[in-house]
Chains A and B, each alone.
Chain A
Amino acid sequence: MSGEGARLPRLESAGLDGWMVRLFDQIEESNLAWITPLTRRCEAAFGDALVDLVPSYTTLLVVFDPLRLSPEEARRRLLALLGDLAPDEQAEAGEVRELPTWYDERVGPDLARVAEHTGLSVEAVIDCHAGTLYRVFALGFAPGFAFMGLLDERLEVPRLATPRQRVPVNSVAIAGRQTAAYPTVTPGGWNLLGRTSARLFDRDREGFSLLAVGDRVRFVPVDRPAFEAQGGDTTPMKAGR
Chain B
Amino acid sequence: MKSVMKRAMQRVTNSETNKYTVIGFRVERAGPLAQLEDAGRFGMRRLGVTQGGPADLHGWAWANHLAGNPWGTAALEITFGGLTLVAERDLTLAVAGADLGATLDGQALPLWQRVQCCKGQRLAFAMPANGLRAYLAVAGGFAAEPVLGSVACVVREGLGGFDGRGSKLAEGDRLAVGEPSSAGASLNAAPDEVRIDYRAPARLSLLPGAQVGDFTGQSLFQAFNAAWCVDDRADRMGVRLTGPRLQCRVGSLVSEGIGLGAVQVPPDGQPIALLNDRQTIGGYPRLGALTPLAASRLAQCLPGQEVRMVAASSERALVAYRHFRANFIG
Chain A residues within CB distance 8 Å of chain B: 1, 5, 12-18, 20, 22, 27, 39, 43, 50-61, 63, 66-67, 70-72, 138-147, 184, 201, 203-204, 206-209, 212-213
Contact B281 A140 (CB under 8 A): yes
Known contacts A14-B259, A27-B254; 10 further A-B pairs (Cβ under 8 A)? A13-B289, A15-B262, A17-B260, A43-B1, A54-B281, A56-B257, A61-B256, A141-B279, A184-B157, A209-B47
Report the minimum CB–CB distance from B329 to chain A (whole Å): 9
B51 interface residue, CB < 8 Å from A? yes
Contact B210 A54 (CB under 8 A): no
Residues of A within 8 A of B2 (CB): 43
Closest partner residue, chain B, to A202 (CB atom): B12
A/B pair count, beta carbons within 8 Å: 154
Chain B residues within CB distance 8 Å of chain A: 1-2, 9, 12-13, 42-49, 51, 147-148, 156-159, 207-210, 213-214, 254-262, 279-282, 288-292, 314, 317-318, 321-322, 325
Q: A16-B317, A70-B318 are in contact. Are A139 and B262 (CB under 8 A)?
A: no
Contact B49 A143 (CB under 8 A): yes
Q: Which of A50, A57, A143, A212 contacts B159 (CB 8 A)?
A: A143
Residues of B within 8 A of A184 (CB): 157-158
Residues of A within 8 A of B47 (CB): 139, 143-144, 201, 208-209, 212
Closest partner residue, chain A, to B295 (CB atom): A15
Residues of B within 8 A of A204 (CB): 12-13
Contact B48 A61 (CB under 8 A): no
Residues of B within 8 A of A72 (CB): 314
Q: How far is the CA of A57 from the CA of B255 in the complex (A)?
A: 7
Q: Nearest 7 CB-CB pairs, A to B?
A: A61-B257, A54-B257, A15-B289, A12-B210, A140-B281, A139-B48, A59-B256
Contact B46 A53 (CB under 8 A): yes
Contact B321 A57 (CB under 8 A): no
Q: How far is the CA of A4 from the CA of B318 in the complex (A)?
A: 27
Q: Which of A16, A53, A213 contacts B1 (CB 8 A)?
A: A53
Report the minimum CB–CB distance from A224 to chain B (whole Å): 28
Residues of B within 8 A of A55 (CB): 46, 257
Can you show 16 pairs from A to B with CB atoms below 8 A apart? A14-B209, A14-B257, A15-B260, A18-B259, A18-B289, A51-B43, A52-B51, A56-B256, A56-B281, A61-B257, A71-B314, A139-B48, A141-B281, A204-B12, A209-B48, A212-B46
Report the minimum CB–CB distance from B312 to chain A (whole Å): 9
Q: A1-B213, A54-B281, A58-B254 are in contact. Are A16 and B321 (CB under 8 A)?
A: yes
Residues of A within 8 A of B288 (CB): 13, 15
Q: How far is the CA of A59 from the CA of B256 in the complex (A)?
A: 6
Q: Which of A61, A72, A141 has the most CB of B within 10 A?
A: A61
Q: How far is the CA of A208 from the CA of B45 in the complex (A)?
A: 12
Report the minimum CB–CB distance from A46 to chain B (whole Å): 8
Contact A17 B292 (CB under 8 A): yes
Closest partner residue, chain A, to B320 (CB atom): A16
Contact B48 A144 (CB under 8 A): yes
Residues of A within 8 A of B321 (CB): 16, 66
Contact A203 B43 (CB under 8 A): no
Q: Which of A16, A50, A213 has the most CB of B within 10 A?
A: A16
Residues of A within 8 A of B290 (CB): 15
Q: How far is the CA of A17 from the CA of B155 in the complex (A)?
A: 25
Q: A15-B259, A61-B259 are in contact. Are A67 and B322 (CB under 8 A)?
A: yes
Report the minimum CB–CB distance from A108 to chain B (whole Å): 23
Q: How far is the CA of A218 from the CA of B5 in the complex (A)?
A: 27
Closest partner residue, chain A, to B12 (CB atom): A204
Report the minimum CB–CB distance from A102 to chain B (whole Å): 24
Q: A13-B210, A14-B209 are in contact. Are A139 and B280 (CB under 8 A)?
A: yes
Contact A138 B261 (CB under 8 A): no
Residues of B within 8 A of A140 (CB): 48, 255, 279-282
Q: Which of B46, B51, B207, B254 contacts A213 (CB 8 A)?
A: B46
Contact B254 A142 (CB under 8 A): no
Residues of B within 8 A of A141 (CB): 48, 279, 281
Q: How far is the CA of A206 from the CA of B259 in the complex (A)?
A: 26
Q: Which of A63, A207, A212 has the most CB of B within 10 A?
A: A63
Contact B45 A53 (CB under 8 A): yes
Closest partner residue, chain B, to A209 (CB atom): B47
Residues of A within 8 A of B13 (CB): 204, 206
Residues of B within 8 A of A16 (CB): 207, 289, 291-292, 314, 317-318, 321
